[in-house]
Structure 1
Amino acid sequence: MENRTSVTEFILLGFPLLRQLWLLSFAIFLAIYLVTLLGNAVIIALSQLEAGLRTPMYFFLKNFSLLEMCYTSVTVPQLLGDLQHGHRAISFRTCIAQMYFFFFFGSTEFFLLATMAYDRYLAICHPLRYPVLMNGRACARLALASWVSGFLTPFLPTAFISQLPFCGTNQINHFFCDTGPLLRLSTGDTHLANILVFLVSAVVVLSSFLLTLTSYTLIVFTICRIPSATGRHKAFSTCASHLTIVIIFYGTVIFMYIHPGSGRASDMDKVVSVFYAIIIPLLNPVIYTLRNRDFKRALQQETAELELICKLDTIKLGLIKDWE
């Protein structure tokens, strides 16, 4: 495009190598996306239906599963459309909107992870006061605060980036509109925008990480004081799944946005982005369902009830046919 022409749309370069095997790539990403939606939907449904799962921990897990469904839906449908049709153009407004919602849900995830760590801290370190401290109203307020904070966080960086001039090349070296590759295309002074994005990312990530780390440090000290090995194992198992998600998510995001030189557009950054934007939402239902006894028990009960209903329906149909 000419330097004097304002960019009205961008071209997402994505993964050129995958286009040679677009059908296989499309099938893999579609399967991951559907399993992610189905797995998190199962967590939400079981947490709502089973009385034994109506606890603060599963209330936050329902919010987290809903968040993962929204988070992966920001990028994967665009990627699937690009792989299927080969049309990689995205309008300027859609690009800015995608960037905003990606960081809205991403920031909310950090706040929810910190809230879930705080919930585990109260449950393990203050078990007698836990029902009072983490009642229904407190859970609702903490969840609402996480969503609202995540909603407000991207406003300033997004508004600032949307006002930058884009009059040069319109090719984004990514599979979605990320801040780093987008800022590289601006023909204006992006120094302040880079600092703003870095500071906002650092505040969100490091503050939530500090709260999470503090909660788990106190949890470890409390678990170490439990006299029996069985008690220590039981206490740690209640937060092992959450801790696994925390380590994976924080590690990949810190690599992308907080480390020195973050924001550059490289193939390695795109691979890491696939991991935290697509793979981690898939790992959430897998880790929580496979490592959680309550979920496995509830899933078995629901499966048994469905099988019983199917058998009763079959018997009813047989009796109706015999009567006729």
Structure 2
Amino acid sequence: MALLDIRNLSIEINSPNGRIKIVDNVNLTINEGDICGLVGESGSGKSLIAKVICNAAKESWIVTADRFRFNEIELLKLTPNKRKKLIGKEISMIFQQPLSYLDPSKKIGKQLIQNIPHWTYKGRWWQWFGWKKRRAIELLHRVGIKDHLDIMNSYANEISEGEGQKVMIAMAIANQPRLLIADEPMNALEPITKAQIFRLLSSMNKNQGTSILLTSNEINSISDWCSSLSILYCGQNAESGSKESILEMPYHPYTNALLHSIPNFKQPLPHKGRLNTLKGTMPLLEQMPVGCRLGPRCPFSQSKCVIKPLTKHLKHREFSCHFPLNLRENQRKEKENVFIPLTISL
């Protein structure tokens, strides 16, 4: 069952040169209890989509969608107060650079206690006094912080990036959300801390059934933890589907470039060999290409790419490309694997 179902989401802004479509008809589906990876370069629109889901969009943004359902409720049709109440109870978000979102004038413990909602209390009435402090300590222990007294008595400038990220996760899960959005939570962290946070999010998903939307610009770093992937480029859908099918045989050239962007150090590299990178850079907002936005950088682009490709569906896979890769090879393998029963006539 789809917990979050978005179809043809568009985000536009007004500029001196006219209206610019930052996010162009993006589809996104997150099933109940899944970990979905939203992958793309910086500037592809991952954080914008996450903020729209969390009702943190700016007033100047023009947000439209054919379908924007959370738990079978159309969010864009709700009043602002009802939407804020529903999202505040069911959805939480972990932001990038957590130390910049913490109040530098308040201790961590006080900020964490203030973020614990009253409706999460499930004890007896005589246990009400001091329950938020006990709950804050429990949340810190859950995210892997053992010395809770030191963290709760510290200010934001006195803790490390890894500790700040864990504190931000503790604040995000204080309301026991059904959907947790982690917007590049491993940015600028050391590998050991990254592995700890990944294991923490995975345990939340398995033990509590929390659905997670994990955004990143490195497909290889999150592929071990996600069950499905959705690839974005310049606000357009490139490809989406199960993790195994995308990693084994990508259809979109951009997905293929992301998978081969990091060298395979298991094999010897040629001396002064070139890295597998796409030529060019991400275009500016005012200079978005017509049609497929990857066209000017794509090594397989042709004149037909000036027309935006339609989204094609093939066995739980979606991709938007006029000239997909590996499509014929995959169809050939599927035909070879088809079981044809033998009939023996007596």
> TM-score, with normalisation over the residues of structure 1?
0.24
Between Structure 1 and Structure 2, the one with more helix by share is 1
Higher relative contact order (CA 8 A, sep 6+): 1
> TM-score, with normalisation over the residues of structure 2?
0.23
Between Structure 1 and Structure 2, the one with more strand by share is 2
